[in-house]
Structure 1
Amino acid sequence: MNQHLTWREKISYGVADMGFNFYWTNIATFLLIYYTDVFGISAAAAASMMFTIKLLNAFTDPLIGAIADRTSTRWGKFRPYLVWLPLPLACAAVLTYTTPNLSDDGKILWAYGSYLCMMVCYTCINIPYNALSGVLSADAQERSTLNGLRFIFAFAGGTLVTAATPWLVHQLGDGNDKLGWQLTMLAWSVLACTLFVLTFFNTRERIAPPAGQRTSVRRDLYDLSHNRPWIALFFLALIIMITVTLRTSSAAYYFKYVVERPDLMAGFVPAYMLAAAAGAALTPVLTRFIDKKKLLILLMTITSLLSTAFFFVQKDQIWLMFALQIGMGLALGPKSPLAFSMYADTADYNEWRTGRRATAMTFAAATFSQKLGTAIAVAVIGGIFTRLGYVANAAQTAVSQAGIVWLMSLIPAAFALLAVAVMFTYNLDNHKLLQIQSDLQARQS
């Protein structure tokens, strides 16, 4: 069960997260400004729609997790989803970035339908993929390495998307932004499908639930609700996703309306992604010397301080904007591999405590919190923009500009501090995990 994974399998698992970020980073960075400045609906309507869909989609996560846990094929429980659903996801994504010739109400209905389809298809692949990391190996350090490598690819994918998407829209659309966005998403979707299939063919599931396990979805949810370390991670994921989404979704507005240099977006978000990839690469090294809980507390404290410093940056201090952005990337880079490695640990803890294992449900309920966090962040942005009188493609008032600055600095800084407080409730340290793995191996033998 603690078998060490080959580099081929680790890399093959990791590249799929690059594919997921061809979608996720586009959604987090560009979808809101696409809806307001290209698709042609108001910021309030777009934010309300994205919040509603994220909320609805979040509640599908436990259902999909339950289905994945009960899937049984000759290829395993989770791997088959990487070949069953990439094509439906690609079609839904292209439709989401298609601008139909409809009335305002018709466009809103189109946005609701296409975005909902894309997010459900995304979830149906992403949750089994997340759960796959928990059944490739039971070794805690192997999981840290696996997830560290995975998020290197994730941040590399995000860097590629943020750097190349504006250029692709311009090149493929040849001056027609509506066509450009549609063809750009088609290109990203084809690449993502290829990476998902590669992961399917080069990974193997090794950890199965205890023999004869019979549980209901209600029992799985009950177990999670009494799993203290998982509850801490649930709220941590929620808060961190709010922190990150506030900044990534506001960045395009910040450079367009505050700095008045929208061209800098092509380097600003990639700078964060590259720094985050470096931070993710350091995760296995850091976890050899620092307990995961203590490391997350330290990283989120640094994030809060750097985000606060961003409030005092002047619009002509470009170098300082990038320096702080790189610093936050280094600090936040390890949080994703750490969190996903810790989710797998809580699945082991649940089996150790109850004798039952629901790996996909553990990860699904976690992604529920991430999507809920994204929804809350988008709602906050939309609410602030509406209250401060944001008008698309027009000069913003001083009050509106100030709101954008707060969204890039003090508001996410406050949420980062809240994440620090949450981590103090997490109660799985390295010593406890070694005891759990030893006991589980003894039971199986």
Structure 2
Amino acid sequence: MKPASQKISVIEKIGYSLGDLSANLIFQTLMTFLAYFYTDVYRVPPAAASAIIFAGGMVGAFFNPVMGAIADRTKTRWGKFRPWILWTAIPFGVFAILAFSTPNFGENGKIIYALVTYILLVLIYAANNTPYAALSGVITGNMAERNSLSSYRFTAVMVAQFIVQVLLLPLVLILGDGDRTTGFEKTMTIFAVIGVIFFIITFLTTKERIIPAKEQESSLKQDLKDLSKNKPWIAMLILTVFVFITLALKNGMYVFYFKYYLSEPHLAAFLDNYGFNGFIDGLNSVLVSMDLHGFQWPEDAPTSGFSLFNAVGIIFMIIGIALSKSLADKFGKREVFGFGLFFSALFLLVFIFYSPTAVALVFLSQILHGFFYGLTIPLLWAMIADVADYSEWKNNRRATGIIFSAMVFGLKAGLSVGGALVAGILAAFGYNEQLLVQLPETITGIKLSVSIFPTITFMISVACLFFYEINKKMEVQIENDLISSRK
């Protein structure tokens, strides 16, 4: 393996992170709003929406290992992984716009259109994000630098998450002048243009430094054989599936939780008492003074409450991200990841005890959940990069692309199952988008989906870490041994 400089510049870290900001403008929208978009905006029946999200997502999930094998065998003057970010940039933007467009078809036509455009989007996402994820494993072999790169990357993810979870619904209402169908199309067009530009910047500012020597090249059969014996990889694959089931399920259900469960008068009083309404009134006054009457914040309490709920969670996630690297450097990635995931699960569990009027407790739990989950965010992909190093250390062969593609498969599978669960649970518990007040059993399903169900799936992920043997001591040993062999 060719020797490589271990240090990477801040410019390269920022450039790399912009790629995840771009992808997450779309990914976070899928995770948080796809079920809502299908059921309440495009008017696809909940059961059909569940089937679309599951079937389309699994098509994309199974394409990821194929894409990983293709990327590992790509040979260009730009490297194996960087060119895919460039080649897929524009198609990614186009398919994102199509997936959130609302042509006026009948019910069957809507179902077919939604399924086809969603499949196209997840396929191009795999072709873009699998090489992007693998790129982090070959930019540097220094594990401290890799932790730092992950921190930059997932700070960018938090920026995208803030934009989507806090600002998307208000943007949809503002840009659509109250029409959510038009608003979604315009908002996703803006996201797509930004995404294409940022993907190109990622391509231009990054460099692949860990280049396998020719004698390390292997067949796909050998790569799969190596994976089957890689216990940390198996543990991380299962963990990734259940983490993203959790994220897709709870994030997708929160919009319904605010719309149908929490007491609107108590939510409005909370927003007023804690100064949010005053802040928005001031913001709207500034916009009016600038003749921007069309950009005033929507007035309904569920939209504002949902946005503020996501905002405080993301702010405290960023605090967790900021502390994650130093804690991981001291105690090891596995230990910090497990600690953060366990306590973030506990602060989901408490939602089952809250009444519709307990608005302050809902926000406090979101703050604590966000902080502890933030500790885990930069570590997931850094641990997967460590798994690629572990495979090379054990087998003297590096297969970065297929290892990362398998984890992106886990991500996509989790997203598909979790997203399908949102629509499926709504259908099973009698959800009717035409009703202003849902049935008691529907409310029960919504409440379970933001408390008990995601706690179970997070705890399964915690259990997987008992089979992930790369502790702090082994991290150091692997890094030192690989530095010596690469020289």
DSSP 3-state at the match of 1:125: helix
Deviation for aligned residue 1:444: 2.8
Match of 1:126 among 119, 125, 129: 129
Aligned position for 1:439: 481
Contact 2:49 2:420 in 1 (8 A): no
Q: Can you list the C-alpha shifts for 1:49-70, whole angstroms capped at 9, x where unaligned?
A: 1001111110000011111111
1:187 aligned residue: 190
Q: Which residue of 2 aligns with 1:262?
A: 302
Question: Do the aligned residues in 2 keep the contact of 1:48 with 1:379 (CA within 8 Å)?
Answer: yes
Q: Does 1:281 align with 2:284?
A: no
CA distance, structure 2, for counterparts of residue 59 and residue 346 of structure 1: 20
Alpha-carbon offset, residue 359 of structure 1: 0.6
- Paired position in structure 2 for 1:4: 7
Cα deviation for residue 392 of structure 1 reads: 0.8
The range that moved more, 384-393 or 396-405, is: 384-393
- 1:140 and 1:443 map into 2 onto residues whose CA distance is 16
Residue 289 (structure 2) aligns with = none
One-letter code aligned to 1:175:
G
Asked if residue 74 in structure 1 is aligned to residue 74 in structure 2, the reply is: no
Partner of 2:106: 103
Return the alpha-carbon distance in structure 2 between the equivalents of residues 183 and 113 of structure 1: 20
Could you tell me how far apart the structure 2 residues matched to 1:378 and 1:196 are? 26
Moved more, 208-217 or 387-396: 208-217
Give the Cα–Cα distance (whole angstroms) in 1 for the partners of residues 242 and 484 of structure 2: 37
| Normalised TM-score (structure 1) | 0.97
Q: d(CA) in 1 for partners of 2:457 and 2:73?
A: 36
Partner of 1:39: 42
Residue in 2 that maps onto 1:161 = 164
CA distance in structure 2 between the partners assigned to 1:284 and 1:140 by the alignment: 11
Asked if 1:430 corresponds to 2:472, the answer is yes
| Partner SS, residue 247 of structure 2 | helix
- Structure 1 equivalent of residue 377 of structure 2: 336
33-42 vs 286-295, which moves further: 286-295
Match of 2:228 in 1: 225
1:334 alignment partner, SS class: helix
Partner of 1:369: 410
Residues 225-284 of structure 1, C-alpha deviations (whole Å, 9 max, x = no match): 211111111111111111221110000010011114422112222222222222112211
CA displacement at 1:100 relative to structure 2: 0.9
| TM-score, normalised by the number of residues in structure 2 | 0.89
The one of 417, 420, 435 aligned to 1:379 = 420
1:82–1:129 CA contact under 8 A, matched in 2 = yes
SS of residue in 1 equivalent to 2:433:
coil
* Aligned counterparts of 1:221 and 1:201: Cα–Cα separation in 2: 32
Secondary structure in structure 2 of the residue aligned to 1:315: coil
Regions of 4+ moved over 6 Å = none
Is the 1:2–1:139 Cα contact (8 Å) retained in structure 2? Answer: no
Contact 2:151–2:321 under 8 Å retained in 1: yes
Distance 1:143 1:441 in 2: 14
Kept in 1, the 8 Å contact 2:321–2:374? The answer is yes
The 8 Å contact of residues 25 and 191 in structure 2, kept in 1 or not, is answered as: yes
Name 2:339's counterpart in structure 1. Answer: 298
1:288: Cα distance to partner? 2.2
Number of residue pairs the alignment of both structures matches:
445
Q: Which amino acid aligns with 2:104?
A: N
Give the alignment's Cα RMSD to 1 decimal: 1.4
Q: State the match for 2:445 in structure 1.
A: 403
Structure 1 residue 2 displacement after superposition: 5.5
Partner SS, residue 391 of structure 1: coil
2:393 matched to 1:390?
no
Q: Distance in 1 between matches of 2:205 and 2:389?
A: 24
Match for 1:186: what amino acid? T
Give, as a single letter, the amino acid of the residue that structure 2 aligns with 1:429.
N
Distance 1:90 1:429 in 2: 40
Residues 331-364 of structure 1 deviation map (CA, whole Å, 9 limit, x = unaligned): 1113231111111111111111111111111111
State the distance in 1 between where 2:239 and 2:164 align.
26
Once residues 433 and 420 of structure 2 are traced to their aligned partners in structure 1, the CA distance between those partners, rounded to angstroms, is: 17
More divergent stretch after superposition (433-442 vs 355-364): 433-442
- Please state if 1:352 is matched with 2:393: yes
Deviations 1:295-341 (A, max 9, x none): 12211210221111111122122221111112111111132311111
Deviations 1:184-233 (A, max 9, x none): 10000111111111111111110012333332222212211211111111
Structure 2 distance, partners of 1:430, 1:179, is 51
Question: Which consecutive unaligned segments of at least 5 residues does structure 2 have?
Answer: 265-300
SS at match of 2:137: coil
2:213 aligns with one of 210, 219, 223: 210
